[in-house]
Amino acid sequence: MASSILDIGKTALNAAQVGMSVTGHNIANAATPGYTRQVVIQGTALAQNFGYGYVGQGTRVLDIQRVYNEILAKQVNNSLSSSNEMSAYATQMRYIDNLLSNANAGLAPAIQNFFTSIHTAAANPGDPASRQTMLSQAQSMAARFQALGSRLAEIEGDVNTLVTASIGRINSYSQQLQQLNISIEAALNNGVGAPNDLLDQRDQLIAELSKQIKVDVTEQQDGTYNVFIGNGQPLVVGKTRYTLTTMRSESDPTRLEVGYNGNSGPVLLNSNSLSGGELGGLLQFREKSLDVVRGQLGVIALTLAETFNAQHMLGYDKSGNAGGTFFSVPGPVVSGNVSNSGDAVLDVTINSAGALNGSNYRLAYDGTNYILTRLDNGSTQTFASLPQVVDGLEIAISSGSMQPSDSFLIKPAIAAANGFAVAIGNIDEIALAELPSAGNGDNGNALKLAALQTALTTAGGTTSYEGAYGQLVSLVGNRTNELNIMSEAEAAMLEGAYNAQQAYSGVNLDEEAANLIRYQQAYQAASKMMQIASQLFELLLTIGH
Amino acid sequence: MRISSNVVFQSGITRISELMSSQAKLQQQIATGRKIQSPSDDPVGASRALQIRHSSSINDQYALNRQTAASNLVTEESTLASVTNLLLSVKSAMVTAGNGGLSDTERSFLAMEMRGALDQLIGLANTRDAAGNYIFAGYQSQAPAFVKTATGATYQGDSEQRLLQVGATRYMEIADSGAEIFTAGGNDIFQTLHTFAELLDTPITDAAAAAAFSAGLQAAQNSIDQGLETVLAARAMVGTRLNELEALEEFGQELSLQYAQALAGTEELDYAKALSEISQQQIILEAAQKSFVKMSSMSLFNYF
């Protein structure tokens, strides 16, 4: 009997010890990211039948479980994806917002100063100093265009770097997930219960992965995770994993796209299918905002150059010669798809800058028709032949021919701001006069040039240069504002989901303190019981004396 | 409800850092005096501010142009006033010349006076503005408007009028062609002065000569009268332009004031509101900090 009491005491002592260990583990990992609190599942030991009834044999530890809820964790992961997507998008957008925010660094004052200098020159067209001022202001306006253009190009480059880094992280996570799948499956096969901490690590990796890209996770019978991205491309399947890679865009050599190393070699993933996470946010920013801003700024540069040059050529310079090109600006950038099989050379020129809309285009050929897709809104036009004039662009094939499924990417305004420059070098070449008589007092053309500042030249003749810039600022401001709000909202949603998940799975130190006391008391009670059992046994021994 | 100890810390810190960043934003607004720090703060306001700046800078430019125009017109007006005086003195000399009692010698003195007047008139017609432009030469302002010849002076300029934009839709003439003033309608007053001086130098020996002189005097007087009329008409026109400039200037200043107010309303910070907001946030921040310290220091472990 006494030995049984001693045994029961031992089971109680053991259970209390396990309880204290688990509590200690919880306390130690209270701040560990991704840690799920663990609890001891205790049950009675198998009772023994003594004929008169079952006598309990104490307690035993059945299992150590983590308090994990798959749905709550999934909500956190989804929230992580959308929150990181929004914040990556908003962060990039804020760079443009800040770029345009500085009243002195913006384009508007440069345009104003340039036109002011034309008015000054109009008041005194023969004065070399006022001509020099006009030339200098033209150069400083050109420098402003270039600075804005090159900063936007730099942001494009930064996005390439960030996309590369994000893909690197995704690949590192997928490798770790593969390792954990292997370890977890092995541990489960041992049959001693779930490897809680390994499970936590794997779930934490899924959370980290969700920050980079939206993932779908399914748990297999054997305990391994299958992880999918995009349109269902597998990233980790059981014990195998696949990697992402950066690929030069087939149509745009300046752009890095996301490639997928599948079983049959790398394939380009459509950026529309890659949503969520930092990677999704970066790709969205690039296509929905950066392209638009670069296009709009380029349109202003192209329109200003075209309309100013046209008026300048109508006038006469100091020597009585007809005016020449005042500003030079690069035209559309065309790049053929690397997989084109035809030998067509596409020639795209600006037909009327005022009719440009800032969008990029894709020209494809299906064997019969040319299909032109406007990339900012997806609208298409079909032509049986080229050349065609569309939205201010003249599109022609200068040599060769396109083969079915060949395509070209057309960026009408991408290079315009970067390459905007003053074409004249000598102040005497400024055509301020309207008559070829070389009169010093002739300011007729200067007045007409100055009037271009308020003329409705841009965006289909609806606004002035500065008006178009104002629209660009408003567009960027609105988009940034919207993203800031959405990103705050997503952060709040994430906090809610995280709090809900933590309320269930997180460690509460007070609770653990109480548990510590409880297990301590259980331990003390068990010790006391064993002491009593030992005293009883000694009592029995003294009977013989 | 269970709450994890992590959340207690994290949400406390999140709230405090949110409050701090909103305080930093207010601080930035107060330091710059502008409520729009970047377009996203107020997209509509930011683009409106650009629009107002654009309009305001153009308005300022018109004001500058008006100054230039006024300065040119004042120069023209004072030149034309001198021309008027000169022609009036020529006219009175002609009245003297008409006095039958004058000797040939006395007339030759008057002839010298007429030649002097001719030089003076050429000088006035070749008046230059502050920048050195010949104001009556049309577009050919780099060269004198009139060059003296054996029979008076010839016009070197052209018939163009220099304009400046002095209002949104107003291009004002800031100079007049010398041809329109000194030789208008074929009435060349330079030639008149020369011819008359020659006439004065011609001795009156007989009745025929006297009749010729009298006819010549009459023609000269007519010409000078006509010339005076032209000059006075030109002065009236210049005066009208100056008046118009003044009216435009008043309107421009009114606009400038409106733009300044609109810009202030769009961009400038309401200091009273911002300062009360920042002190309110200060209180909230302090409360959040205190409650965070209280909350996080409460632990069962304190009683072990």
Contact B71, B130 (CB under 8 A): yes
Tokens at A493, concatenated: 């949603």
Name chain A contacts of B168, Cβ cutoff 8 Å.
454
CB A67 within 8 A of CB A36: yes
Instruction: Show which of residues 323-382 on chain A sit within 8 Å of chain B, judged by CB atoms.
Output: none
Query: Are the CB atoms for A306 and A364 separated by under 8 Å?
Result: no
- Chain B contact set for A473 (CB, 8 A): 39, 43, 46-47, 50
Contact B23, B282 (CB under 8 A): yes
Residue of B nearest to A129 (CA): B131
Beta-carbon-side half-sphere exposure of residue A116 (alpha carbons within 13 Å): 20
Say if the Cβ atoms of A30 and B6 lie within 8 Å: yes
Helix H, strand E, coil C: the string for A341-362 is: CCCCEEEEEECCHHHCCCCCEE
Residue with tokens 């030469």: B137
> Contact at 8 Å (CB) between B135 and B76?
yes
Written as six digits, the tokens of A248 are 């030069």
For testing the chain A interface, which of B38, B68, B136 should be mutated: the one with the most A CBs within 10 Å?
B38
What is residue A33's predicted lDDT score, i.e. its pLDDT? Answer: 93
Give me the phi and psi of A59, to 5 degrees please.
-120, 165
Q: Which residue of B has its CA nearest to A34?
A: B6
What is the pLDDT, as a whole number, of residue A11?
94
**Could you write out the DSSP letters of every residue in chain B?**
----HHHHHHHHHHHHHHHHHHHHHHHHHHHHTBS-SSGGG-HHHHHHHHHHHHHHHHHHHHHHHHHHHHHHHHHHHHHHHHHHHHHHHHHHHHHHHT-TT--HHHHHHHHHHHHHHHHHHHHHHT-B-TTS-BTTSTT-TTS-SEEEETTEEEE-S-S---EEE-SSS-EEE----HHHHHSGGG--HHHHHHHHHHHHHS---SHHHHHHHHHHHHHHHHHHHHHHHHHHHHHHHHHHHHHHHHHHHHHHHHHHHHHHHHHHHHHB--HHHHHHHHHHHHHHHHHHHHHHHHHHH--GGGG-
Q: Does B137 touch chain A (CB under 8 A)?
A: yes
Crossing angle of helices A70-101 and A465-505, in 10° steps, is 150
Mean pLDDT of B149-173: 93
Distance CA A455, CA A466 (A): 10
Question: The pTM is what?
Answer: 0.87
- Determine phi and psi for A373, rounding to 5 degrees: -110, 125
Inter-chain touch A441–B6, beta carbons under 8 Å: no
Q: What is the DSSP letter of A316?
A: B
Averaged pLDDT, B19-41: 91
Q: Which amino acid is located at B4 in the chain?
A: S
Which residues in chain A have their CB less than 8 angstroms from residue B61's CB? 115-116, 119
One DSSP character per residue, A119-158 reads HHHHHSTT-HHHHHHHHHHHHHHHHHHHHHHHHHHHHHHH
Q: Name which of A101, A116, A499 is nearest B57 (Cβ-Cβ).
A: A116
Q: Is the pLDDT of residue B111 over 90?
A: yes
pLDDT band at residue B73 under the 50/70/90 scheme: very high
**Alpha-carbon gap, residue B175 to B234, rounded angstroms:** 11
Residues 6+ apart with CB under 8 A from A502: B3, B4, B6, B7
- Distance, C-alpha A400 to centroid of its chain: 39
Q: Report yes or no: A116 at the B interface, CB cutoff 8 Å.
A: yes
Intra-chain end-to-end CA distance of chain B, in Å: 24
pLDDT tens, residue order, chain A (545 aa):
555 888 999 999 999 999 999 999 999 999 999 999 999 999 999 988 888 999 899 999 999 999 999 999 999 999 999 999 999 999 999 999 988 877 666 899 999 999 999 999 999 898 899 999 999 999 999 999 999 999 999 999 999 999 999 999 999 999 999 999 999 999 999 887 889 999 999 999 999 999 999 999 999 999 999 999 988 899 999 999 999 999 988 777 888 999 999 888 888 888 888 889 999 999 999 989 999 999 999 999 999 999 999 999 999 999 999 999 999 999 999 999 888 999 999 999 999 999 999 999 999 999 999 999 999 888 999 999 989 999 999 999 999 999 998 999 999 999 999 999 999 989 999 999 999 987 888 999 999 999 999 999 998 889 999 999 999 999 999 999 999 999 999 999 999 999 999 999 999 999 999 999 999 999 999 999 999 988 988 888 888 66
User: What Å distances lie between residue A229 and A164, A260, A268, A277, B188, CA to CA?
Assistant: 17, 10, 14, 11, 93
Helix B5-32 to helix B271-297 angle (10° resolution) is 160
Torsion, Cα B94 B95 B98 B100, to 10 degrees, reads -130
Q: Name the residue facing B160 among A98, A435, A476 (closest C-beta).
A: A435
CA distance A124 to chain B (A): 8
Give me the residue from A441, A470, A506 closest to B47, CB to CB. Answer: A470
pLDDT at A448: 96
- Residues in chain B with CB shorter than 8 Å from the CB of A120 are 64
Cβ separation of A30 and B5 shorter than 8 Å? yes
Q: How far apart, in whole angstroms, are the C-alpha atoms of residue B209 and residue B213?
A: 6
A-contacting residues in B 111-130 (Cβ below 8 Å): none
Burial of B194 (0-12, 13-18, 19+ CB in 10 A): buried
- Any CB–CB contact under 8 A between A291 and chain B? no
pLDDT given for residue A231 in this prediction: 86
B207: contact with A, CB 8 A cutoff = no
Strands (E), A403-471: 407-411, 421-422
- Nearest Cα of chain B lies from the Cα of A499 at a distance, in angstroms, of 7
Instruction: Report chain A residues whose CB lies below 8 A from the CB of B139.
Output: 433, 435, 437, 439-442, 444
Which of B3, B6, B54 faces A112 most closely, judged by CB atoms?
Answer: B54
